[in-house]
Structure 1
Amino acid sequence: MSKYTFEATVRNDLGKGASRRLRRAKTHIPAIVYGGEDVPQPIALVQREFYRVLEQDEGIFTAVLTLNIDGKPQQAIIKDIQRHPFKPLVSHVDFQRVDASHKVSVHVPVHFINEATCAGVKNEGGKITHLLTEIEVTALPQHLIASIDIDMADKKVGDVVHLSDLKLPEGVEVTTLAHGGNDTAIVNVVAAQKGAADEDEEDAADSAE
């Protein structure tokens, strides 16, 4: 059973003007659900509950949701959220229908843990550089994961974590690697750059010798 359930109604009043009126009412969000064997269906998503979950739980972006559309449940994932350019408002949501027998791809956030105790930072004065903060994975809907954790505790200066280094659950694969793409670096630990003051001290020490 899905952790997230949202109420919606079929939207028959279409077009930019209709969507604008719907948003101004501040009760529903224009949305569409597509994919599978059914035709794309414009819907009006109840705003309050969607906003509440959106603000509190990042898992909504990688989980299978239940959309109760006029009382009829459909399983879907979020494929895109369009936001207002400067207000904290959602303008439109795209949902993709899913079923248990077909794989889907989602972008999963990367969590870097134990950065404060990273060996390369704590013992060698290095710096952690995040090169990717989310990774696209492919899996059957029931195998989707909420996030990817990378433990930085034992990483030293010069260490690099690539996509191929990830230990993912069975049934989950990195989309890029599955399609023969590059083994991109996710995070590394680099030596701290010397400042001008440090260089002056070294020059002074060399002169003294």
Structure 2
Amino acid sequence: MVLQYTSTVVDPPAILIRGADSHENDELIENMLPEDVWFHVEDMSSAHVYLRLKENQTLEDIPEKLLQDACQLVKANSIKGCKMHEVSVVYTMWSNLKKLPGMKPGEVSFHNSNVVKKMIVKKDKAVVNRLNKTEKSGVQMDYDGDRSARERREADRKKAERKIQLENKREEEKRKLEAAELRSYTSIMKTENMTANTDYSGYDSDDFM
């Protein structure tokens, strides 16, 4: 079970998920979805916070105010970071997280450090107080249900793409056939391939008086 917060700086409101301890953080690391963005204070212990984007969205699609909310939440839930005037927060897509053998609970690395973004975050009690008022504890995540729903959406998306590709292929084949027929007709209608109705060469008939 995890902690859930509601950010009202966007419409519709966005949900932020936070692990309550290092073992829950490991559970989140293992079970989240490719659309989830992971936030953590750089180089010090802090909460793991996730924001779920819409499918096909990227880090660049996160509104600035929503980004601030997520970063403020991890800063406020860092034992050292919460006491500092400012900290550096790192964030990346969940799919970029890498859990190596021997790592401690809650510890994580990256597949590609070049796609990890950083943001300097200054203390903002007003933001933290607003988010804390929306906190829900003991939220049960339906990991299997979320994953199954995503797989269905992905299957539907691929099915729709295949349908469009098939329709496009049929249209292209139709255009090619029409173009070939036009070329054939144009060739027949060329002057050198035509016989005038006044050309009697080779016409054998009786003379009539």
If each structure's strand is expressed as a fraction of its own residues, which one has the higher value? 1
Structures share a fold, TM > 0.5? no
Task: Please state which band the TM-score falls in when normalised by the shorter chain.
Answer: under 0.3
Bigger radius of gyration, 1 or 2? Answer: 2
- TM-score (norm. length: structure 2): 0.25
- TM-score (norm. length: structure 1): 0.25
If each structure's helix is expressed as a fraction of its own residues, which one has the higher value? 2
